[in-house]
Amino acid sequence: MIDINSTPIASLLAEGISYTNMQMYVVIMIALVIIMTVLDLLHKKSSIYFFSASAKAEKDLFAGNAPCSLGKEEDRLKILSVADKVNILASTVVVDVSTAGEFSNGLRRLVHILTMWGFIFFNVATIIIIFGAQETQILAQVWNIGAIMLFIGTFWYWFGFKVDSQVEGYSWTRVVIRRDMFSLSLMATSVSALGWNIYGGGTGIWFILVLLATISLFGGVYWSKFSHMFFKPIAAYNKRIIKANGTNENLPHETRNDVWQQNRHSMELLKDAPMDMGLGIKREAPKHY
């Protein structure tokens, strides 16, 4: 049974592992995340894309010309003030990051929130306990609740929302290491951490499993989806910025209910159609493999 008011971390002291050793391990894991994330960004050229896109948008904005392949051009551009950018940043943090606003499916959003906040609670509590060289009841509760949330979120995702199982019809037992490494490492971390607590801590098999799971999670960033946790907030902020300043990456701004759009020749058949035309392909669950 899980003792939610304590963690197994303190039990390591009795086994001869000092806080200094634990701190060194945490520093190594953090360094691996940073190094691997930078390598991943360089490999995928994500950083180059964002820098070049941002520079191009600023150039178009101050030149008063944001070429668009389709749509009205006049009065689209707006030079954002510092206050505008702060508001956009706040919206990004509150909506897109903290509450996973990009998910329209409520259950999928809940799964993401459980996983994300469980991961944050678990790791932040671990770092505070190790570097503070003490454990309080509140920190222990945060550590255990985080591990439980991570367990629920990761397993719910694997059995309920895994894309190749839900859409492509593959069994949930089908594993592709590079694609599934992040999910499997998170699952292993939550299971091993909870098992470590249930069986009294120490440096036994459950502690070894915790080490293997966390090394896989933090050391495998380059080969997993870990770095997208840093990439997605930047992408969300950039999306809001280019929409607010009018540059919009050369994409049209008007939606189907815009008068200018409705009067286009290609929109003739949809001109008087209602904006909500039903579920469409979402009427039934995807099962056409």
Assigned domain for 285 exists: no
Q: Residue 285: which pLDDT band, with cuts at 50, 70 and 90? A: low
Dist. CA 284–CA 197, nearest whole Å:
43
Mean pLDDT within 149-164: 87
Residue range 225-230: mean pLDDT, rounded = 79
SS3 265: helix
Residue 72, pLDDT > 70, answer no
* 193 pLDDT above the threshold of 60: yes
The answer to whether residue 27 sits within a structural domain is: yes
> Is it the case that residue 221 has pLDDT exceeding 50?
yes
Angle at 262 between CA 260 and CA 266, to 5 degrees: 110
| pTM for the predicted model, two decimal places | 0.81
Residue 262 is assigned to a structural domain of this protein:
no
pLDDT at residue 65 greater than cutoff 60:
no
Q: What confidence score (pLDDT) does residue 173 get?
A: 77
Residue 69 clears pLDDT 50, i.e. is over it = no
Q: Is 195 helix (H, G, I), strand (E, B) or coil?
A: helix
Q: Is residue 221 part of a domain?
A: yes
Is there a domain that residue 151 lies in?
Answer: yes
Q: What is the DSSP letter of 103?
A: -
User: What's the pLDDT band for 142 if we cut at 50, 70, 90?
Assistant: very high
Is position 73 within any domain?
A: no
Angstrom distance (rounded) from CA 180 to CA 182: 6
Which pLDDT score, from 0 to 100, does residue 164 have?
Answer: 58
Domain range for 39: 11-64+80-257
* Number of domains the chain contains: 1
Single-letter code of the amino acid located at 187: M
Average pLDDT, the chain: 83
Is 272 within the bounds of a domain? no
Mean pLDDT in residue range 89-98:
90
What pLDDT, on a 0 to 100 scale, did the predictor assign at position 271? Answer: 77
In percent, how much of the chain has pLDDT > 90? 39
- Decide which of 205 and 13 is more confident: 205
Q: Which of 260, 239, 234 is nearest to 249 (CA)?
A: 239
Q: Which is more confident, 103 or 49?
A: 103
Answer yes or no: is 282 within a domain.
no
Do the beta carbons of residue 80 and residue 276 sit within 8 Å? no
